[in-house]
Amino acid sequence: MSDILVIQHVESEGLGIIGPMLRAAGLAADFVRVFNGGVVPQDARTHSGLIVLGGPMGVYEEEDYPFITDELRLIESGLRRGLPVLGICLGAQLLARAAGARVYKGGTKEIGWYKVRLTEAGRGERLLVGLPEEFTVFQWHGDTFDCPSAGVNLASSELFPNQFIKVGNAAYGIQFHLEVTEAMIREWFSVNAGEVKALKSIDPAMVLKETPGNIPAIHALGRPVISRFLRLLDN
């Protein structure tokens, strides 16, 4: 069984549907839970791939969260080796920064269900074959990033142009969440109630009402994308 290194920043942002898919593929997740004091390794040379999950902290908050510096070094090491890397939300922002791009606060926050649209590059991307040109995803972020000079942007939303980036041959950063379950979304609204209450533009009740109807579709999109990423670990 081949291990994939998973960096988890907060307890509420886990693997979601990725966990069962790893087990079905015969892969074991080797977790570094930084919220419990887990130490980020200098590199992932003993692992077949790297998954970096989301979290509420900003990539630019290294003084408050020293593990960010360690994660950037880890991702940089993975990029040099051509290691398959999947960054989700904060993980995507860390990938962008590790590849030399700017990460910064956006003009607004995307929290809830939003449409994203594949770019021309996205329509030809192997992970996204068969996906519709436009589809609805779950978002929870306020920060954004530029596309690295060595990367390509695969999807955009109305509010944020860079939603799904590819760096090199096997590193991907997804700003939105294909891995979420309904239970995760409900927990996020509970854990982050203060953040949401401060946002007049977000109606939590409406987002939660829309969630059961959107979850099957997002899983139908997410499973092939994740499955194709996991197959890169065998290359």
Phi and psi dihedrals of 115, rounded to 5? -85, 140
Q: Are 207 and 189 in contact (CB under 8 A)?
A: yes
The distance between the two most distant Cα atoms of the chain, rounded to a whole number of Å, is 48
Active site residues: 89, 177, 179
Contact 176, 134 (CB under 8 A): no
Helix (H) or strand (E) holding 3: strand 2-8
Distance of CA 52 to the CA centre of its chain: 7
168: left (phi > 0), else alpha (psi -120 to 50), else beta?
left
